[in-house]
Amino acid sequence: MKPRLLPYVAASVTGIQVGAALVASEAIVDDIGPAGLGFWRYLIASAVLIPFWITSKHVRVARHHIFPISLIGFGQFGVLIALLNVAVLLAASSRVSFVFATLPFATLAFERLIFHNRMGLKEVYAIVISFVGIAFLIGADLYAETIARSEGIGLLAALAATLTGAICSIFLRPYVRRYGAVQVSLLAMLASLIPLGMMASLETQGHLMANLSGLNTIIVVSIGLSSGIGFWCWLYALSHAPAGHVTAFLGLSPVTAVILSIAMDREPLTISVLAALLLVIGALSFLIFPSTANSRT
């Protein structure tokens, strides 16, 4: 595989993982609590990354960078995930993934406001096409039914998570380039465990998994393991490709959520679903191949 394609493969893995984790979180968040689920998710994910950190050849994080990385990590892995867990507690995961898939637009907006970065028209078109595909994919579910007040609050929580993710992605990128994805993601995750643990202790469910069924315990562990891999891929992609490119692949998250719903007989496979899949995949291909082609000129 060409090295220039690896960041896009990593971004694809993250997009798929986010969609699958949202569906899994929706199934168990009521039993363990939003903060409790986030706590166990990143405790397990941190354990996944520790062996990679031990063998990492990157220079260790400087002391004066520990606090800013930890602060960003609190936002990326603490606030964002807690908000997403609240969102799937109140609204369907497909709707939440639709809102969260607008992260590319939020990232582009903040990049321009903060760093005055610009993106080519082809890249903007690709993200817009991907967004249209996402809207087409779950538009009927989002607009055909009346959204209850609680669902509206859940979608607002998803929007807040989206804005948090956009800001954190931008500010984490220089640290990832300097210290590597493993070190930054591990430090950021560990920093998020303190506030998540404190919030979990205030939930009625607590943050212990002793009362969970065997199946739910397996789901929690699976979410944690996949998150460790997924966020490493996310930070690796951010360190090797523009943030706008990387976040565009979150368009795969609602696609994954719907495919899983179809596989679990929650909704049927329709022509609209297939059309939306083609739009999203086509848009992402449009984003990848011009950039790789241009790199040869």
Greater pLDDT, 238 or 16? 16
Q: Where do we find the tokens 């590597």?
A: 180
- Residue 260's nearest CA partner among 20, 16, 17, 97 is 20
- Segment 183-211 mean pLDDT: 78
Q: Residue 60: is its pLDDT beyond 50?
A: yes
The yes-or-no verdict on residue 297 having pLDDT over 50 is no
Pairwise CA distance, residues 243 & 241, whole Å: 6
Q: What is the mean pLDDT of residues 217-234?
A: 88
pLDDT at residue 116 is higher than 70: no
Q: Which of 79, 29, 21 is nearest to 205 (CA)?
A: 29
Q: What percent of the chain has pLDDT over 70?
A: 77
Say what the pLDDT of residue 143 is.
54
User: What percentage of the chain exceeds 90 in pLDDT?
Assistant: 6
The mean per-residue pLDDT over the stretch 123-139 comes to: 67
Domain around 225: 3-294
Q: How many domains does the chain have?
A: 1
What digits encode the pLDDT tens for the residues 167-185?
888 888 888 888 887 888 8
Work out the mean pLDDT of the chain and round it to a whole number: 78
pTM: 0.72
Q: What is the pLDDT of residue 239?
A: 78
Three-state SS letters, 166-189: HHHHHHHHHHHHHHCHHHHHHHHH
Mean pLDDT confidence for 191-204: 82
Per-residue pLDDT averaged across 243-265, rounded?
76
180 φψ region: left (φ > 0), alpha (ψ -120 to 50), beta (else): left
